[in-house]
Amino acid sequence: MLNAVTQGFLVGLSLIVAIGAQNAFVLKQGLKKQHIFWICLVCALSDSLLILSGVLGFAQIMIQYPAVVQISKFAGALFLIVYGAQHFYHSFKHSAVMQESSIQKQNLSELLLICLALTWLNPHVYLDTVVLIGTVSTQFAGQEMAFAAGAITASWLFFFSLGYAARWLQPVFTHSEAWKILDFLIGVVMWSIAVSLLI
């Protein structure tokens, strides 16, 4: 069982550490120190549900009904294009030095909706967590749930570490140029993922 948990943890961590739309969002909110706990919680819970779905056999349903992935692909690409454009706009917009007190506060419900969209409209998430983790879990006959527990643990550890460790970079982001560069890089990530979904 320990081997299954360890392997699940390593597989889960290897899939989640790649820079993606969801991770970039968590990083930025961590830097802004806005509703970090709730955002990390939503991301971790979403990943947990997706991982459990894969281990419990929903990967086969997705393979049989590829239209679900196709719909998610186009909806996700459209969302990422719009969201990326907003970041490009902010990266070129003139602003004063961004002190913590001057950062615009965003509504929690608005942020959670963006977080859910970045998670559930991204077909890469389904392919990684549902299909791939679900497929690998079949190698641990009788210990699939232990494998899932390891992958879920990796997800929770990663998101909360990313969200709360981001504040260590806060001194760098007292300069408006740092925020502009971050917004530009996030825009590049969003549009790159959108392009990869459409081609």
Question: What is the per-residue pLDDT across 135-194, written as a single tens digit (0 to 9) for each?
Answer: 778 778 788 899 999 999 999 999 999 999 988 887 777 777 877 888 888 888 878 878
Tell me, rounded to whole angstroms, the distance of Cα 58 from its chain centroid.
20
| Contact (Cβ atoms closer than 8 angstroms) between residue 8 and residue 151 | yes
Distance CA 148, CA 133 (A): 8
Question: Assign residue 35 a region: left if phi > 0, alpha if psi is -120 to 50, beta otherwise?
Answer: left
pLDDT of residue 151: 92
Tell me the whole-structure pTM to 2 decimals.
0.75
Structural domain count of the chain: 1
Distance CA 111, CA 183 (A): 16
What DSSP string runs through 68-86?
Answer: HHHHHHHHHHHHHHHHHHH
pLDDT of residue 152: 94
Q: One-letter amino acid identity for 181?
A: I
Q: One-letter amino acid identity for 19?
A: I
CB-CB neighbours of 188 under 10 Å: 15
Per the structure, the complete domain to which residue 45 belongs is given by 2-198
